[in-house]
Amino acid sequence: MNEYLGRVNIVTNYLNFINGEWVSASSGEKHEHFNPANPSESIGFTEVSTVGDVEKAIEAAKAASAGWKAMSSVNRGEILRKAADILEERADDIAKTATQEMGKRFIETKGEALRGASILRYYAQEGMRKKGEVLPSAANGTTLLAVRVPVGVVAAITPWNFPIAIPIWKMAPALVFGNPVVWKPGQETGITATKVAKVFEDAGLPAGVLNLVLGRGSVIGDVLTTHKDVAAVTFTGSNAVGQNIAKLATATGKKFQLELGGKNPAVVLEDANLDLAARLVVDGAMKQTGQRCTATSRAYVEASIYDEFVEKVIEYADKITIGDGLQDGITMGPVASKKQFDTVTGYVQKGKDEGAELLYGGSTLDINGGYYIEPTIFGNATHEMSIVNEEIFGPVVALMKVADYDEALQKANDTIYGLSAAVFTDSLEKAFHFMENSEVGMVQINGETGGAEPQAPFGGIKSSGQGPKEQGQSAVEFFTTNKTVTINPYTK
């Protein structure tokens, strides 16, 4: 750990990164991190920042803004390319830390780290793309330009469930387009965040361009959204926090980008490959222990194949092995925290109390006192039930019987959320109809509801997202603004 932080006597205490220096929070308070697979195991301490610490970080970002903006976007991209190489080299260490902090399997956290490297390389190339366009002018001899320019200081507020990839897919475009960043990660994964920040420092990012503040969102979140020197806020997390950010950002005239919750449906039609559909519904629901905004949380199955589909889903669920995510052969780890454990088990009990049929799982497991919950499958659920309406963020999926495709589509759309949806069918007509009429930002045809690629826009509609989409070419819409320039060569 000393090797990465570059400071003597820092072994289990991880610091804020402000203006190119690793510094303690002014509060003097530390947050201790415990392994959710074995809650008696302490893995380190992070700082608990104050509003004053965040103000210093914003001040540093503001001071670095002019120099970073003036640097060629090609050279900014080269720093991201170096960061990708370093992240790849440190993928095992960073992934192990993430697994110890939030329980996700090592194979998943390492995949996330390597995905982060791919995102950095993608946006490194963005530094070589055009920054605007030449438009025709009605005035003879006049040149009319639309030029993309940075928005200014960006506040990035990121969650604990993807502690490597989500921060990178926000910070990489912000940085390559010329914006300094103040980053507040989920407190649960603050140690992982310090190691990601160290990657950017070692890649040669100038002081103040990236600033990391650790601590409680309830204490330091609002200043990131209201400070006069913050131009834009990008947030991934809960709907309640997101709506508060939207309110505060609107009141202070800031751009905001919100990626919020999901209640993602899968529609399984009678002409589908049932083995594929069952496997991908289970994968979609149980990967990362269901702690994904794109997780499959409800499935609508045509009545003629419902019983057969249930059998296959149970068969695939029964193949899941549960344990410490650092162990080989484990296919599902614990949930991230005691708070998450209580939330998910509460929803499992609600499912039982409200009359859903428990088809599989539903129990907790005592493994080293860890926060383990069995894969849980409910059947014959209805839209009045909490497990169908509310985001659970755990390994729980509800199956429902429908008469036909029309009923499945209507019920799939019957939600406040609109992030991702999947349909399993061999009918090209129904696949295209679903693509056009599913009320979500991302559609999978014969694929699981999760998954994203750096070059494609990511985000939802309805209550699942507000503002420009993330990743791909869409990122330029949020992290830059258009400036119109008219050049008249005639000075006499």
The catalytic site residues sit at 259
How far apart, in whole angstroms, are the C-alpha atoms of residue 62 and residue 69?
A: 11
Report the DSSP beta bridge partners of residue 175: none
How many helices and strands (H and E) does the chain possess?
Answer: 16, 23
Other C-beta atoms closer than 10 Å to the C-beta of 128 total: 12
Q: Is 291 helix (H, G, I), strand (E, B) or coil?
A: coil
Q: Position of tokens 């220096």?
A: 21
- Say if CB 361 and CB 317 are below 8 A apart: yes
Q: Position of tokens 């390597």?
A: 114
- Phi, psi angles (nearest 5°) of residue 434: -65, -40
DSSP3 helix / strand / coil % (the chain, rounded to 5) = 40, 25, 35
How far apart, in whole angstroms, are the C-alpha atoms of residue 15 and residue 2?
A: 12
- Phi, psi angles (nearest 5°) of residue 423: -130, 140
H/E segment holding residue 264:
strand 264-268
How far apart, in whole angstroms, are the C-alpha atoms of residue 212 and residue 56?
A: 11
How far apart, in whole angstroms, are the C-alpha atoms of residue 168 and residue 117?
A: 9
- Say if CB 58 and CB 227 are below 8 A apart: yes
How far apart, in whole angstroms, are the C-alpha atoms of residue 26 and residue 23?
A: 9
H/E segment holding residue 311:
helix 306-317
How far apart, in whole angstroms, are the C-alpha atoms of residue 308 and residue 305?
A: 5
Angle formed by the axes of helices 165-176 and 106-126, nearest 10°: 10
Question: What secondary structure does DSSP assign to 420-432, as a single string?
Answer: EEEEE-S-HHHHH
Question: What secondary structure does DSSP assign to 279-290, as a single string?
Answer: HHHHHHHHGGGG
Q: 95 is written with which tokens?
A: 């992934």
- Say if CB 265 and CB 407 are below 8 A apart: no
Strands 372-373 and 364-365: antiparallel
